[in-house]
Amino acid sequence: MVQAYILIQTEVGKASAVAVTIAGIPGVLQAEDVTGPYDVIVRAEADTVDDLGRLVVAKVQQVEGITRTLTCPVVHL
């Protein structure tokens, strides 16, 4: 299982709606509005890195109101 944090920038005033929409996507564990350079932070998981990439590109990035994402895979050292 691969997990990642997805840092999301949104259009002004869209963070809450984006977080709610993303929270309903299968594979998303948590989606929270935050302050700072990013508007929403998501914790997601998938079976493989490829599946995680598909989740981000095909599902998360398609949510209306998102302007930019940064995916940070979790590593266990």
Average pLDDT of 1-15?
97
Per-residue confidence band for 13, with pLDDT thresholds at 50, 70 and 90: very high
C-beta of residue 8 within 8 angstroms of C-beta of residue 41: yes
> pLDDT tens for residues 16-73?
999 999 999 999 999 999 999 999 999 999 999 999 999 999 999 999 999 999 999 9
Q: Can you list the positions of beta strands (E) in the chain?
A: 2-10, 28-33, 40-46, 66-73
